[in-house]
A and B are shown apart, each in its own frame.
Chain A
Amino acid sequence: MYSYNDFDEAFVRERVAQFSAQVERRIDGSLTEDEFKPLRLMNGLYLQLHAYMLRVAVPYGTLSAPQMRQLAYIADTWDKGYGHFTTRQNIQYNWPELKDVPAMLSALADVGMHAIQTSGNTIRNVTADQFAGAAADEIEDPRPVAELLRQWSTDHPEFQFLPRKFKIAVTGSSTDRAVTKAHDIGLRMVRNDAGEPGFEVIIGGGLGRTPMVGKIVRDFLPKADLLPYCEAIVSVYNVLGRRDNKYKARIKITVHENGLDVMRDKIEAAFAEKKAQFDGVDQEMLAEIEQHFAAPAFKTADTSGYEAARLANPAFRSWTDTNLAAHRADGYSIVSISIKKHGATPGDATSDQMGVMADLAEKYGHGELRISHEQNVILPHVHQSDLHAVYSALRAADLATANIGLISDIIACPGMDYCALATARSIPVAQEIAERFDELKLEHEVGPLKIKISGCINACGHHHVGHIGILGLDRAGVESYQITLGGSGMEDATIGERAGRGFSADEIVPAIERLVLGYLDLRHDADETFLEAYRRLGAAPFKAVLYPSDAKADAA
């Protein structure tokens, strides 16, 4: 794992010292809120509905066991004993008091973490495939590149005042687990005809008010050209991007208004200039960073105990069926720990649970943890001979829910339970859907299904790319929920289509139930997923089950 060098360490410490002084000056009245607000946002501190919220970056979703333990300590010491993992692979604390925030940042710096550039019109935390460095289908670990991008973008003087925020996602596998097509820049690793690894470069994706699937600006970019090429993209955007209208300022609009060809020409021209200025330092840095990400020393051990435990224990078998993914090393599995217990808040882990996960990572997982954009925690390297012990410990900590990828593995943003921008709540809707399908004992029969819920048009809950998306709105002073259908955040990225008029808070869970039961009737066979059935049949039969009275009226 990457650990801070002296430069990183000094930089982060200096920022903590600066912010401590700024907080003091705000409290003693020498700074006004207008002066202080941009400063606190630069350090990840938001003011929400009920309290301040501190957003901490988890670069490319990777955490060490001591870092996870420190997150637990912070939750216990200065918050209410829990943290919320977000779709940006960050962690948020919902209840800090202003005077405590410098101490929290200092505790983060102790383990090489910070909250810098989690806000503002800068390049935000670079996100990555949560299975990076472990997935069987991976070409190369994308994290060294993500770390290089982090170092390059952190405090980059040219890019501190972009037209709008800027998000980069990178995946080392052609299976897109990082939603690269919904980012300002998406980097998907592919091989060229000669078998060399490089990147398919995607620009102009994004959700929010105007959702757009990103467009491929370069089919194949050699790895060595990554930094000058990204710098070219951001510099073209920095000049062309609109600053007159906040809603038209993201690069997706720049691409849309100027056209992909114009963008590509400008980017290639800028790239030619930049490339000449890059004298290879970036490649030396990358080589140095790569050493930090060397694969752990995988062990070999007998796995017959694992097979026997699977046969003997149906609950364990069910968990291994849903929560494991294929690892590149023989005898290993990737473990997804569901932070989506039925009825619990998606993405919330208590400090005790964080402690258990840190211990398990240390004991059985080569010390590594990951946060997924789907708000779960991953142990990327667990030998199969240890899976039963891991499962038993997770069970004792209430963390063994066997639902990864199923209907109750719901993404939900904080919504109006916390977020000052929200137009409706999202958490209770997620809780009720998960509880309802648990009660019906149907979720395994329903199979892979991604429900994603946002509490406003900003779409932090990725509702546009949910197989079923739910958007909470304020309709004349009442919470109202709009359903979208057929979205996907994978390599076949698709923006879901609006199903029709919204549902009230009381109607939304029954509507989802009708929709899913309707799918069970409509599907070809048990192997046809919700998304496949939707793509085959189109929206009409799904709308008919969602709005039965309309269907009757049409027939009459």
Chain B
Amino acid sequence: MKSPQVITANALLEGDAIWLTEDDRWTRDMAEAELIEHEAHGAIRMLFAQSQPSVAVGVYLADAKPGANGPEPTHFRETFRTRGPSNYAHGKQVELS
């Protein structure tokens, strides 16, 4: 696997970004996500994530890197998903703090 990854999706009810944790929860804080280092393990975790259609919509694997507090995004699109839009203080940048 080129880069470690996290499993992410949108929440069915609220529509916002969520990430899968090691203990099978969905979190709104990417730092709590499970960082997946091996492809085979990623495939198993994807199967689990996709089996939760009443929580998670549009499940996918996104590249990530280890950071001081947990996984961090490597691509700007994923960074925006942890934050919210840049034109207003809406979304996770205010909801999580």
Contacts and interface: CB of A to CB of B under 8 A. Distances in A.
Interface of A: 26-27, 29, 32-33, 47-52, 80, 94-99, 345, 348, 416-418, 422, 425, 427-428, 431, 474, 477-479
A345 B88 CA distance: 9
Given A47-B10, A94-B85, A416-B77, 10 more contacts: A26-B12, A32-B53, A50-B92, A52-B15, A97-B13, A97-B14, A98-B14, A416-B76, A427-B86, A477-B76
B87 A50 contact: no
B10 to A, nearest CB: 6
Interface string B15-33: 1110000000000000000
B85 to A, nearest CB: 4
**Most interface-central of A416, A422, A478 (chain B CB within 10 A):** A416
Nearest to A417: B85
Contact of B15 (A48, A477, A478): A48
Interface string B68-97: 000000111100110011111011100000
B64 interface: no
A479 B76 contact: yes
A479 B79 CA distance: 13
Nearest to A343: B87
**9 A-B pairs closest in CB distance:** A417-B85, A52-B15, A51-B15, A50-B91, A345-B87, A427-B87, A29-B54, A33-B57, A98-B13
Contacts of B10: 47
Contacts of B66: none
Interface range on chain B (Cβ under 8 Å from partner):
20 to 34
B75 A425 contact: no
B80 to A, nearest CB: 6
Contacts of A94: 85, 90
A434 to B, nearest CB: 12
B6 to A, nearest CB: 16
Nearest to B84: A50
Given A49-B81, A416-B80, A478-B76, A99 B86 contact: no
7 contacts: A50-B15, A50-B85, A98-B14, A348-B87, A417-B80, A417-B85, A418-B85
Contacts of A51: 14-16, 91
Interface in B22-70: 53-54, 57-58
A416 B16 CA distance: 14
Contacts of A80: 88, 90
A204 to B, nearest CB: 33
A50 B81 contact: yes
A419 to B, nearest CB: 10
A477 B75 contact: yes
A431 B14 CA distance: 28
Contacts of B53: 29, 32-33
A428 B81 contact: no
A26 B57 CA distance: 11
B12 A95 contact: no
A417 B83 CA distance: 10
Contacts of B77: 49, 416, 422, 474
A506 to B, nearest CB: 14
A27 B13 contact: yes
B86 A417 contact: yes
Nearest to B85: A417
A94 B86 CA distance: 14
A277 B23 CA distance: 65
Nearest to B75: A477
Contacts of B76: 416, 474, 477-479
Contacts of B12: 26-27, 33, 98
Given A29-B54, A479-B76, A417 B87 contact: yes
B8 to A, nearest CB: 11
A47 B58 contact: yes
Nearest to A37: B57
A425 B15 contact: no
A414 to B, nearest CB: 8
**Most interface-central of B58, B80, B81 (chain A CB within 10 A):** B80
**Most interface-central of B54, B57, B85 (chain A CB within 10 A):** B85
Contacts of B58: 33, 47
B13 to A, nearest CB: 5
A506 B12 CA distance: 36
A345 B15 CA distance: 22
Contacts of B75: 477
Contacts of B90: 50, 80, 94-95
Nearest to A348: B87
Contacts of A417: 80, 85-87
Nearest to B91: A50
A520 B17 CA distance: 46
Contacts of B13: 27, 97-99
A99 B12 CA distance: 10
